[in-house]
Amino acid sequence: MTFTRSHLLIACALAGSFALSACSKQDQSANQDTLTANTPATGEASTLSERNAQQRLISTLQQHLKTANINAKIVNVQATEVPNLYWVSLEGMPSIYATSDGKYIIQGDVIRLGDKQLVSVGDALQATENKKLFAALKKEDLIVYPAKDGKAKHVIYVFTDASCPYCHKLHEHLDEITAKGIEVRYIAWPRGEQFMPTMEAVWCSQDRKAAFTQAVQGQPVQAAQCKNPVREQYQLGLNIGVNGTPAIYNTNGEYLGGYLTPDELVKRLK
């Protein structure tokens, strides 16, 4: 199949997979050093060699994307544990893999075999990026439900949409979740343009918590238009590969799952 610009953009927007306990958009580890291309993953490379390898790959890959009429800006590249395979961060799109010569890109998961459980090679790298992005969020731009008694053992970030049934189920368990010492931070992620006005109205309400609960119950939310972060938060979700709600992450940027019961959530966090 010929790979076109539209294939990349569509596949990037839909990259990643979620369990059935998440509403789809339609229905709505350790840091890894950057190595030179010919250095094995267990070896060490000088800082200068690392930078040169990075710049060569960025330049080559960016030119190949341009030749293919793919408008994608490369933000960063990092070596993976797979020899000659790099993790490439793109502006406004989920990350992809690229070979060290910049001639081939891979979308989706690269899975490590050999253990009882399958491991996605990019999980740790994506989590590192996510952690930075979550840390940069302002609490005043989110809907925050503190842990009961103010004693937070854990903090989770939840991409949510008031129209999503599984988000409704999670929302119904908020008291139980916060009672277990978990602070919940909602990030707006309307699953389609038709859901954008409701989420913007929620975020523009003086009492966002009450407005979100109202929207979850199917009641209209009336609020004056305001400058709000909903579209930016939606784009954030796209950047890290969100394609359904709820999407739950811990503060380390690790994806915990879609809808989880309070007990399941505690187990994942441990």
User: Token pair for residue 43?
Assistant: 């070896």
For 140, other C-beta atoms within 10 Å of its C-beta total: 7
- Residues forming the active site: 161, 164, 167, 191
First to last CA, the chain: 44
Question: CA–CA separation, 87 vs 105, rounded Å?
Answer: 10
Report H helices in the chain: 5-13, 47-67, 123-136, 165-172, 174-179, 196-204, 208-216, 230-240, 262-269
Residues counted in the chain: 270
3-class secondary structure, 160: strand
Q: What are phi and psi of 192, to 5 degrees?
A: -170, 165
Question: CA–CA separation, 211 vs 7, rounded Å?
Answer: 38
- Residues 187 and 160 sit within 8 Å (Cβ to Cβ): yes
3-class secondary structure, 85: strand
Q: Dihedral sign for Cα 31, 35, 39, 44, please.
A: negative
Instruction: Show the CA angle centred on residue 171, arms to residues 169 and 173, nearest 5°.
Output: 80
